Chain A
Amino acid sequence: MSGHELHPLVKQLLDGEITRADLPAELRAEGEAALRLLAGVDRTDVSMPAVTWRVMAKLERRRRRFLPWLLAPALAIAAALVIWLVPRTPAPASLVTVRFVLVAPDAKQVSLAGTFNQWDPQATPLVRAGATGVWTATLTLPAGQHQYAFVVDGARWVPDPGAPAIDDGFGRRNSVLTL
């Protein structure tokens, strides 16, 4: 055995298969030194609370990107039908159905305030999905740009972690949704 290798019995000691007392006297010092090496193991817990909303926001962002592509052929057919059936009627503004999602396990209530409801925090409550901490609201909005924020427990304004945000000029961040 080379001088760089620990004695097999010392390795068994590190594995927890034998105790110090099981080592012959000539290996005790080597055993103690090896155990000091393990004393540096860092078992501190690591918590990643942001991962839940980051994952859900990423999935939601991707869904929003795909949805217009999935709907495009249907919308094209619908638009063609409208033009064909009512050729002289002006086309209505496009409407898009959007689902808003916020993960807020500790919230008692969550609502949505934005340009589409005159920033009224009472107007559009989100519904909690069971005990999951996931709050959702589905709205049909006209195509164009909308600004909004979630209102948690009637007081805390929170931008959507899954959407870009801009400064509202009063020190708060508004999320931006472009349809």
Chain B
Amino acid sequence: MRPGSQATDGDIVRAVLAGDRERYAQLVERYRDRYARYATRMLGSVDAAEDAVQDAFVRAYDQLAQCKEPDKFVGWFFLILRNRCFAERRRNRTSASLEAANDVAAVDRADGGAETAERRRALQLALLELTADQREVFVLKHVEGLSYGEIAERLSTSIPSLKMRMHRAYDKLREQLRDHT
């Protein structure tokens, strides 16, 4: 690492693997909030998302030696978090729906605007009715603001398959939110 420059992800991963365990805190600090919103929207609950992000970082630490390209730690970590979110959704679908509405309602009370609040709450609940695959594409595109190309690269899939998932999601959302549009 050059003096005065910020350590790259690769520098930190290599240092941790060499025994400097505390350096791992830098990676956690660097990426925990970047994926906090993704996990929250995927799981519909801030508490569940916090547990998922924490578990994903612990799992990534355990498997760090398998991170073949240390400079691409963040992409590798995202896939671990993604698997954790999908597993959590399979386990805990119903309770997430109820919490989701409450979490969103809490945010909206602070924002003000009853119509916006109701719209957000309805969309949040409708999102939980999508399949995990459909929901993920929706979250990455419309919440995280990624393009189809960026999503395809991150998930190692094709743009036409992403579009197919998204377009089915649009149809389902429209059906569920008929009274809110």
Contacts and interface: CB of A to CB of B under 8 A. Distances in A.
Interface of A: 4-6, 8, 11, 14-15, 33-34, 36-48, 50-52, 54-56, 58-59, 63, 101, 103, 105, 129, 132-134, 136
11 contacts: A4-B174, A6-B171, A40-B116, A48-B36, A50-B50, A51-B32, A52-B29, A55-B25, A56-B22, A59-B21, A129-B22
Given A14-B170, A40-B180, A46-B40, A136 B119 contact: no
Contacts, number: 121
B53 to A, nearest CB: 5
Contacts of A134: 22-23, 25
A40 B22 contact: no
A100 B37 CA distance: 32
Contact of A39 (B20, B104, B119, B143): B119
Contacts of B50: 48, 50-51
A11 B53 contact: no
B54 A54 contact: yes
Interface in B128-153: 141-143, 145, 148
B161 interface: no
Contact of B22 (A15, A33, A132): A132
B171 A46 contact: no
Interface residues of B, number: 47
A5 B57 contact: no
B25 A103 contact: yes
Interface in B113-131: 116, 119-120, 122-124
Given A14-B170, A136-B22, 16 more contacts: A6-B171, A8-B167, A15-B141, A36-B181, A37-B123, A37-B180, A37-B181, A44-B37, A46-B36, A46-B46, A46-B49, A47-B33, A48-B49, A51-B36, A54-B54, A134-B25
Contacts of A39: 116, 119
B28 A129 contact: no
User: Which has the most chain A C-beta neighbours within 10 Å: B22, B32, B41, B163?
Assistant: B22
A16 to B, nearest CB: 9
A51 B53 contact: yes
A47 B25 contact: no
Contact of A41 (B26, B32, B142): B142
A45 B141 CA distance: 15
Contacts of A42: 41, 104, 107, 120, 123-124, 143
A63 B141 CA distance: 40
B7 to A, nearest CB: 9
B24 interface: yes
Contacts of A48: 32-33, 36, 49-50, 53
Nearest to B123: A40
B120 A105 contact: no
B167 A11 contact: yes
Nearest to B173: A37
